[in-house]
């Protein structure tokens, strides 16, 4: 264990104070009270009075600032990808796709005047559940007929593949943002019979397009991002996916956008049970955007397809993880540092990285182990990998002294540590405060 476990600075905030008051007071203390509008003013270096924020300096946020500035001016695309486990996916939280912190960040950025697109879904976030389990998480998705989550042996970006099992079966998606779109970026496995995947677009007024084939060539390996456009610039508000000819068609997820209005695309790629090892395994060839060194549809190939197929889109990764690596393999803090470092090195070829810390966990969740004591130790372990590389870190929960405090304040949703909707807001407000402070 690290020697500095007891040196972590934490506010001893009382449970009687509101979540917002405690958090916002801490953020004000850390950031000096700055709250600039998008793209205005010089970057502000956050002060590290309580370790909520570390390393937010100009040198290690230049791609982040460039991407968000271009998107704010509507003259370029930017992408924020949230990577993580059940925290990130919204596990156990009612209407998780709406309340999880990635979605809340998207709404908060929109409220600040950014053109933000959170119009997509990626994989079965339970990585072991049924299609109905996924729909309970993301109510923007629906299906008709025989649609399923594919074999758990094939994990992908946000969990597992969607399988449309033959002609006449439909998978539908209706963004809740109210945005129209004319372009869909679809993440698909290339060595399955996907050349029959077709799209139908709807404008919300009873008008539908003809079927638009995805134009996928089968027989390659790994994952591929395929772009599908609506006919003649048709402004769609929802879509339906089906297939013809073969037994099934498969996809890992999609993101909808308006090609004429570039902005920030927010992708939430959390999966319950996800591990840092899942994201960092299997080397990829970034010079070949049709082949990745994997003959299965694993998370690394999915991530590579997402990034390498659109290398011109500046990307910011906001990442959390270590709990499932520890739970599955009993990794040491040093091993957690190594795993996080390997993942950071892989992600750095595509964009900037910001690392998040876990919230306090129940001391009685696992017999013989006090997770409440382990959390700061392992948070520091993954933070070490980030700070050794000069990368920013956000520890949103450093201001909360214990699991009992967060539970009493209604910030957790179960007896372990998974955040409630208000708990996810703690993550979201911390991230937004960081963005505010570098503009």
How do residues 187-201 score in pLDDT, each as one tens digit?
A: 887 665 555 789 999
Question: What is the maximum alpha-carbon separation in the chain?
Answer: 64
289 occurs within a structural domain: no
**Tally of domains within the chain:** 2
Q: Nearest CA to 235 among 259, 211, 214?
A: 259
278 occurs within a structural domain: yes
Does 433 lie in the same domain as 312?
Answer: yes
CA-only gyration radius of the chain, Å: 21
Does 279 lie in the same domain as 393?
Answer: yes
Does 314 lie in the same domain as 419?
Answer: yes
**What CATH number should be reported for the domain holding residue 403?**
3.40.50.1110
Structure confidence at residue 311 (pLDDT): 67
C-alpha distance from residue 229 to each of 21, 236, 421 (Å): 46, 10, 35
The more confident residue out of 115 and 339 is: 339
Mean pLDDT of 377-391: 92
Q: Taking the CB of residue 137, how many other CB atoms lie within 10 A of it?
A: 25
Does 157 lie in the same domain as 78?
Answer: no
Average pLDDT, the chain: 75
Say if CB 136 and CB 144 are below 8 A apart.
no
Does 107 lie in the same domain as 7?
Answer: yes
Does 186 lie in the same domain as 100?
Answer: no
404 occurs within a structural domain: yes
Does 251 lie in the same domain as 277?
Answer: no
Is the predicted pLDDT of residue 3 greater than 50, yes or no?
A: no
126 occurs within a structural domain: no
Q: What global pTM score does this model have?
A: 0.80
Does 388 lie in the same domain as 245?
Answer: no
Which residue do the tokens 């299906």 mark? 143
Structure confidence at residue 209 (pLDDT): 97
Structure confidence at residue 300 (pLDDT): 64
Is the predicted pLDDT of residue 299 greater than 90, yes or no?
A: no
Give the H or E element holding residue 264. strand 264-270
Does 224 lie in the same domain as 97?
Answer: no
* Phi and psi based region of residue 273 (left: phi greater than 0; alpha: psi -120 to 50; beta: remaining): left
C-alpha distance from residue 419 to each of 5, 165, 416, 424, 431 (Å): 23, 35, 9, 6, 16
Is the predicted pLDDT of residue 294 greater than 60, yes or no?
A: no
Does 424 lie in the same domain as 320?
Answer: yes
Does 236 lie in the same domain as 141?
Answer: yes
pLDDT in tens, 131-164: 888 887 788 899 999 998 886 555 566 667 888 8
DSSP H helices in 73-216: 86-89, 96-99, 101-111, 131-137
The C-alpha atoms of residue 111 and residue 96 are separated, in whole angstroms, by 20
Q: Read off the tokens for 126.
A: 């339970």
Q: Nearest CA to 436 among 50, 33, 60, 59?
A: 33
Say if CB 91 and CB 323 are below 8 A apart.
no
Is the predicted pLDDT of residue 427 greater than 70, yes or no?
A: yes
Mean pLDDT of 122-127: 64
Half-sphere exposure of 109 (CA within 13 A, CB side): 31
Structure confidence at residue 152 (pLDDT): 58
209 occurs within a structural domain: yes
**What CATH number should be reported for the domain holding residue 175?**
2.60.120.260
The more confident residue out of 293 and 398 is: 398
36 occurs within a structural domain: yes
Mean pLDDT of 54-58: 75
Query: Strands, DSSP E only, in 86-222?
Result: 116-117, 120-122, 141-144, 147-149, 155-156, 159-160, 162-164, 170-173, 183-189, 197-202, 212-213
pLDDT in tens, 193-249: 555 789 999 999 999 999 998 877 665 566 778 899 999 989 999 999 998 876 788
- Show the domain range for 218: 131-257
60 occurs within a structural domain: yes
Is the predicted pLDDT of residue 80 greater than 50, yes or no?
A: yes
137 occurs within a structural domain: yes
Does 58 lie in the same domain as 196?
Answer: no
């Amino acid at each position: 264990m690290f020697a500095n476990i007891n040196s972590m600075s934490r506010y001893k905030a009382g449970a009687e104070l509101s979540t917002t008051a405690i958090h916002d007071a801490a953020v004000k203390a850390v950031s000096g009270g700055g709250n600039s509008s998008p793209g205005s003013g010089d970057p502000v270096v956050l002060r590290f009075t309580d370790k909520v924020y570390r390393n937010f300096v100009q040198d290690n946020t230049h791609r982040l600032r460039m991407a968000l500035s271009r998107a704010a001016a509507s003259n370029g695309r930017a992408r924020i990808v949230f990577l993580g486990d059940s925290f990130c996916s919204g596990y156990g939280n009612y209407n998780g796709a709406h309340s999880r912190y990635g979605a809340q960040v998207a709404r908060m950025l929109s409220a600040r005047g950014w053109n933000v697109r959170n119009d997509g879904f990626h994989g079965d976030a339970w990585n072991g559940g049924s299609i109905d389990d996924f729909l309970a998480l993301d109510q923007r998705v629906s299906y008709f007929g025989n649609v399923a989550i594919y074999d758990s042996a094939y994990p992908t970006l946000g969990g597992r593949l969607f399988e449309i099992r033959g002609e006449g079966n439909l998978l539908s998606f209706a963004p809740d943002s109210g945005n129209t779109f004319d372009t869909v970026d679809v993440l698909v496995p290339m060595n399955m019979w996907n050349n029959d995947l077709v799209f139908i677009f709807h404008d919300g007024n009873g008008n539908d397009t003809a079927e638009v084939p995805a134009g996928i060539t089968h027989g390659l390996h790994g994952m591929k991002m395929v772009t599908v456009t609506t006919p003649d610039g048709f402004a769609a508000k929802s879509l339906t996916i089906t297939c013809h000819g073969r037994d099934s068609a498969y996809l890992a997820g999609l993101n909808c956008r308006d090609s004429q209005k570039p902005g920030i695309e927010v992708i939430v790629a959390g999966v319950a049970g996800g591990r840092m090892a899942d994201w960092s395994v299997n080397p990829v060839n970034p010079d070949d955007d049709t082949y990745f060194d994997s003959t299965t549809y694993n998370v690394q190939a999915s991530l590579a397809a997402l990034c390498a197929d659109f290398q011109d889109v500046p990307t910011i990764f906001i990442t959390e993880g270590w709990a499932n690596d520890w739970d599955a393999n009993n990794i040491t803090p040093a091993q957690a540092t190594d795993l996080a470092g390997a993942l950071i090195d892989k992600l750095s070829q595509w964009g900037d990285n910001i690392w998040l810390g876990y919230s306090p966990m129940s001391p009685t969740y696992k017999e013989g182990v006090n997770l409440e004591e382990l959390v700061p130790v392992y948070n520091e372990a993954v933070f070490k990998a980030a700070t050794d590389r000069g990368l920013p870190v956000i520890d949103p929960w450093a201001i909360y002294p214990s699991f009992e405090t967060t539970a009493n304040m209604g910030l957790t949703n179960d007896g372990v540590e998974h955040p409630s909707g208000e708990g996810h807001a703690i993550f979201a407000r911390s991230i937004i405060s960081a963005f505010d402070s570098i503009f």
